[in-house]
A and B are shown apart, each in its own frame.
Chain A
């Protein structure tokens, strides 16, 4: 596999992670290019989730280096990763049901107005911004003042993606973004990811769905049994080849 190219937003070399005696992955090299959708695929237990968790600071790798946006070992916890510019779209832990769409979009990065020593929420500004964030990604919700509880799974996923992108993140990591969605909703979220690609947002996408990965990504990395087995350009591969790479039949 090639050395990190200069246009990589994130690159890692010789990365290893063990949990006690259990080896999650060893000596993994991986990179994602700026402005591309980079997919990571692999069978259950191949190590892709742990790799992603290392990239977003949930786990600290035992060995190897991570370079994000030109800085080596940039963070050691999820908060640090978020501050450095990596936003994660979690599978389930994404939104607060009882808060409104606008409140969710700005949760923990609320816009405030300072009056003396006090900081008050600037709710008008947040609603205005929330509207423009949603319309930039052509996301339709009935109202930004609606509680998230009453939205569909697809709308919720779209809002959590919008939240991640809208934070000005340099890299958005999505772990199985359509795993829990129906056919129509999956199509909507895929369309949203395609729009991100058109807008040159750097995305890492973890998925089980090979067709989806080929439709959405620019580059595909294949993990197998704790190793990085291969990397291919999405345009130059086929579903059969991906199956072969994932199962080790190639």
Chain B
């Protein structure tokens, strides 16, 4: 018997060998590859199309503006990713951003200083997330229903607190945060980059990350193996709330005031970015870079369409089409 046939079974044993890599052509023909990399492929595709159609798109100034504009959505989609990884969904995110902004504005206007205002905003949005997770796990109510409820309740709370009036936030700290830059990127971009790095480490390099994916994959089995799935879920929602708080600070810094308005496109785009990033809505499967690039892609889409002088009315249409397309491709994910 020849040597090669003798070796064939050994190549399938667990220990000895390195994992074999499929060839490039096989990779490109595999729908699963396109599903996993949908956001990257989409982003590269958009950059090429817009770059050809409108060369200004590729100018350094525009790319910097694009990154700046995407920072809030990147932070939100990271929070949403943690929740979706547990097979949940956080519909209250945009409402939490609004409440965080209003608390920031009110505390600052009351003269307690901008730092306390930011800390309280973060605490408030984290508390909303904690409450979401707590009601979902203890009350055993579907995620969708609970966060839909808090979406409405938190919106109401924001309107009551603010009296429906916007609060100006004239703070040099926030002005610097919004307009200052370090190296090639503005501070908000650095905040988003830091959030991506921290979230990536938490998801892939800590026990919590593995337990999060296990909880989302099969909560019952994870529980049988001793993982406290309730706590994991509450933690995921609290992280989502914290991300909403960071986004609230970035938002107030960007527009200079705290408005009692919900930006629903932020919520929908955060879910869209998560879907584009290849995160399974059934839980158990997630990445951080995917949704972050998904958020970049959605921002690039809006930015490019604006540069091409396409009416703003067409932008939601384009976003919707792309998200559904991505979901279709995702069906081929293995």
Chain A residues close to B by CB (< 8 Å): 78-79, 82, 90, 93-99, 101, 103, 107-108, 110, 112, 118-121, 123, 130-132, 134-135, 139-145, 150
Known contacts A98-B216, A107-B225, then 4 further A-B pairs from the complex at CB < 8 Å, ordered by chain A residue: A96-B221, A135-B13, A141-B14, A142-B12
Number of A-B contacts (CB under 8 A): 86
B207 interfacial by beta-carbon distance below 8 Å: yes
Q: Which residue of B lies closest to A58 (CB)?
A: B224
B222 interfacial by beta-carbon distance below 8 Å: yes
How many Å from the CB of A84 to the closest CB on chain B? 13
Partner of A99, one of B15, B210, B224, B226: B210
Q: Is the Cβ of A96 less than 8 Å from the Cβ of B207? A: no
B200 interfacial by beta-carbon distance below 8 Å: no
Instruction: Show 8 residue pairs from A and B whose CB-CB distance is below 8 angstroms, ordered by the A residue.
Output: A98-B217, A101-B14, A107-B210, A108-B225, A108-B227, A119-B207, A131-B14, A143-B14
CA distance A103 to B226 in the complex (A): 15
Q: Is the Cβ of B210 less than 8 Å from the Cβ of A95? A: no
How many Å from the CB of A201 to the closest CB on chain B? 19
Q: Which residue of A lies closest to B204 (CB)?
A: A121
Q: Is the Cβ of B14 less than 8 Å from the Cβ of A79? A: no
Contacts of B205 in A (CB 8 A): 120-121, 123
CA distance A96 to B227 in the complex (A): 12
A90-B210 in contact given A132-B15, A135-B15 (Cβ < 8 Å): no
Q: Is the Cβ of B224 less than 8 Å from the Cβ of A96? A: no
How many Å from the CB of B86 to the closest CB on chain A? 12
B254 interfacial by beta-carbon distance below 8 Å: no
CA distance A108 to B231 in the complex (A): 14
Q: Is the Cβ of B221 less than 8 Å from the Cβ of A103? A: no
Contacts of B221 in A (CB 8 A): 90, 93-96
Q: Which residue of A lies closest to B285 (CB)?
A: A98
Interface residues of B in 248-282 (CB under 8 A from A): 280
A78-B226 in contact given A93-B220, A93-B221 (Cβ < 8 Å): yes
Contacts of A118 in B (CB 8 A): 206
Partner of B14, one of A90, A97, A103, A135: A135
Contacts of A141 in B (CB 8 A): 14
Q: Is the Cβ of B14 less than 8 Å from the Cβ of A139? A: yes
Q: Is the Cβ of A121 less than 8 Å from the Cβ of B210? A: yes
B293 interfacial by beta-carbon distance below 8 Å: no
CA distance A142 to B11 in the complex (A): 8
Contacts of B304 in A (CB 8 A): none
CA distance A241 to B24 in the complex (A): 62
Q: Is the Cβ of B214 less than 8 Å from the Cβ of A79? A: no
CA distance A120 to B204 in the complex (A): 9
Contacts of A93 in B (CB 8 A): 218, 220-221, 224
A112-B14 in contact given A93-B220, A96-B218, A96-B284 (Cβ < 8 Å): no
A144-B285 in contact given A96-B214, A96-B221, A107-B210 (Cβ < 8 Å): no
Contacts of B220 in A (CB 8 A): 93
Contacts of A142 in B (CB 8 A): 12, 14
Q: Is the Cβ of A112 less than 8 Å from the Cβ of B284? A: no
CA distance A107 to B215 in the complex (A): 11
B6 interfacial by beta-carbon distance below 8 Å: no
B98 interfacial by beta-carbon distance below 8 Å: no
Contacts of A95 in B (CB 8 A): 221
Contacts of A132 in B (CB 8 A): 15
Q: Is the Cβ of B14 less than 8 Å from the Cβ of A144? A: yes
How many Å from the CB of A108 to the closest CB on chain B? 5
Q: Which residue of A lies closest to B220 (CB)?
A: A93
B211 interfacial by beta-carbon distance below 8 Å: yes
CA distance A108 to B285 in the complex (A): 18
* Binary contact track B286-329/A, C-beta < 8 Å → 1, others 0: 00000000000000000000000000000000000000000000
Q: Is the Cβ of B206 less than 8 Å from the Cβ of A107? A: no
CA distance A140 to B13 in the complex (A): 5
CA distance A118 to B210 in the complex (A): 15
Q: Which residue of A lies closest to B19 (CB)?
A: A143
CA distance A79 to B227 in the complex (A): 10
Contacts of A123 in B (CB 8 A): 205
CA distance A49 to B211 in the complex (A): 29
